[in-house]
Amino acid sequence: MIALTDMIGTLAGTLTTLSFLPQVVKTWKSRSTRDISLSMFLAFTTGVGLWLVYGILIGSWPVILSNIVTLILAGIILFLKLRHLHGEPD
């Protein structure tokens, strides 16, 4: 049986992770990252990476899985921002 805390963690992780999907799709389609803050996404992506490490250290699968996916999605946005950095003024 799945513990209530794991169910809540999984639901929270799923919702917060999926919230990045529309931004990834919009950024990918528009090829514009002008309105995305580089410093915010650097800090955010670093924080997600640390949450992933934390999840691994405590052995929490909801934390681990949601942060792997969030790190991938945020990493895509960060990659696109860095790639377009010189072509778009902030």
Q: Render pLDDT for 51-60 as a digit per residue (tens, 0 to 9).
A: 999 999 999 9
The structural domain count of the chain equals 1
Residue 81 lies in a domain: yes
- pLDDT value for 87: 62
Cβ atoms of 88 and 32 closer than 8 Å: yes
Residue with tokens 């990045």: 20
Host domain of residue 71: 50-90
- pLDDT value for 72: 93
Residue 84 lies in a domain: yes
Q: Render pLDDT for 23-54 as a digit per residue (tens, 0 to 9).
A: 889 888 988 888 888 999 899 999 999 999 99
Residue 71 lies in a domain: yes
- Cα dist. 25→50, 73, 89 in Å? 25, 10, 21
The answer, yes or no, to whether residue 90 has pLDDT greater than 50, is no
Cβ neighbours, 10 Å, residue 57: 10
Q: d(Cα 75, Cα 70) in Å, to the nearest integer? A: 8
Q: What is the pTM of this model?
A: 0.78
The answer, yes or no, to whether residue 14 has pLDDT greater than 60, is yes
